[in-house]
Amino acid sequence: MNKYVGHESQLYGVEEHRLVGGRGDGMRLLQVRNGSGLEFTISLDRCADISRLSFKGDNFGYFSPCGYVSPEYYDKTGLAFLKSFTAGFLTTCGLTCAGNPCVDDGEECPLHGTISNMPCESFGHWISNGEIHVKARVRDAAIFAHKLILEREYVVPLFKNELYINDRIINFGASETPLQMLYHFNVGYPLLDENAEVKASSLKIEPRNAHAAEGLEDCLKMEKPQPSYEEKCYYHTFDGEAKVSVFNPTLNKGLVMTYDSSKLKFFTEWKMMAEQDYVLGIEPGNCQPDGRDVMRKKGVLEFLAPEEERTYTVKFDFVER
């Protein structure tokens, strides 16, 4: 017990808020803050994704021009997903499709799937053993179709700048279903600028297309914002523990992401250096973002059998030098 403190929220905790006005009106948010300078916002009406994240006062994520958008405005046709793509520090893509829109096995698969526009049906938060825990449950299911549950837990030490994202996906239906999961982590200014140092423990890096191939040698080098910049994507291959870091010497701060690449076998680097649309995507997943039909043709599409489940953990360390 700290005798200087009247309420623990002076130092750390979780607060529940609701947005008022605009297309985000009524959205439920959880503001999570530890006692060492890490603060982030969980959007309960958007798959318990992380809309904002800052470390000791500096923003680390990318917040897109559309801002907060409630699921009621979601449009899955074509590229309309982008009109409600807040991005934030994390947008979850899946659960049965991710990446490019396509038609696969007779099913229309929208851009990046639908899970990021689904509200949590339940959630809870508590503090125990020196850690903040936030747990949420999201249902991705339909009659005559797939029936999946995503159980997500965030774990944050009170006085250590670490963040654990623990996900469990369960097939509670009677049929096998495709499973695609892509963690669309988005790094933004001021952590991201032309001075940012990006490193990856990848064994191999391949460009997504001919345009990306032109910049392969400098794929980890960040640039100044440019008008009419065309995105470049690179596919990294890891072995064992994958490690990706972004550090900005101007801020003297950065982050380090680690995860098990045997579970999340693919990693996409999304380099977007456009004016205002200035973002670096660091995206582990069990698929590449080329569309479910392409993954099926390549023979790497994963499936989840009835009563089968999959678990993933992604860890972030937030650092200073």
Looking at residue 231, the DSSP 8-state letter turns out to be P
Task: Encode pLDDT of 233-288 as tens digits.
Answer: 999 999 999 999 999 999 999 999 999 999 999 999 999 999 999 999 999 999 99
Considering the chain, what is the average pLDDT of its residues? 98
Q: Is 46 helix (H, G, I), strand (E, B) or coil?
A: coil
Dist CA 317 CA 321 (whole Å): 13
246 forms beta bridges with: 198, 255
Dist CA 247 CA 163 (whole Å): 17
CB-CB contact of 26 with 68 (8 Å): no
CA distances in angstroms from 205 to 195, 235, 263, 298, listed in the order given = 22, 6, 19, 18
CB-CB contact of 235 with 188 (8 Å): no
Tell me what pLDDT residue 2 has.
87
Task: Encode pLDDT of 40-93 as tens digits.
Answer: 999 999 999 999 999 999 999 999 999 999 999 999 999 999 999 999 999 999
Q: Is 168 helix (H, G, I), strand (E, B) or coil?
A: strand
CB-CB contact of 204 with 179 (8 Å): no
Whether the predicted pLDDT of 318 surpasses 80:
yes
Task: Encode pLDDT of 195-237 as tens digits.
Answer: 999 999 999 999 999 999 999 999 999 999 999 999 999 999 9
Dist CA 97 CA 99 (whole Å): 7
What is the full DSSP assignment across 148-161?
Answer: EEEEEEEEEETTS-
Count the Cβ atoms, other than its own, within 10 Å of residue 295.
Answer: 24
User: Which of the four pLDDT bands, split at 50, 70 and 90, describes residue 1?
Assistant: confident
Architecture of the structural domain at 8-320: Distorted Sandwich (2.70)
Cβ-Cβ contacts under 8 Å for 143 (sequence gap 6 or more): none
Structural domain boundaries of the chain?
Answer: 8-320
Q: Is the peptide bond before 65 cis (omega within 30 degrees of 0)?
A: no
% of the chain at pLDDT higher than 90: 99
